[in-house]
Amino acid sequence: MADASRPATIDKMFDLAADFLDRLPGRAVRAVINKTDLVTPDLAGFDRRDLPMEQVMFCSARTGEGVMAAFAAIVGDIHRRL
């Protein structure tokens, strides 16, 4: 989870996701960027550390936009692991 209004948190999120995948290969990872009601980040300037764009999600907890999609994707990932 990263804060769209704080770019450093986006960098850190991608670093943590990559470290997670290095340690637990094959596990599902979702990168969720919140506060998109305040700013829509341009990810072109970020090193996604090979995380596929389809695993990056955007949401706004304040407006609710994208929240259900993020939860549904995460639940789907967990369900597939069962």
pLDDT tens digits along 9-55: 999 999 999 999 999 999 999 999 999 999 999 999 999 999 999 99
Domain boundaries, the chain: 2-81
Q: What's the pLDDT at 25? A: 94
Q: What's the pLDDT at 81? A: 87
Q: What's the pLDDT at 32? A: 98
Which whole-number Å values give the CA distances from 28 to 14, 43, 44, 48, in the listed order? Answer: 14, 21, 23, 15
Q: What's the pLDDT at 37? A: 97
Prediction pTM value? 0.92
Residue 26, phi then psi, degrees to nearest 5: 90, -10
Q: What's the pLDDT at 82? A: 85
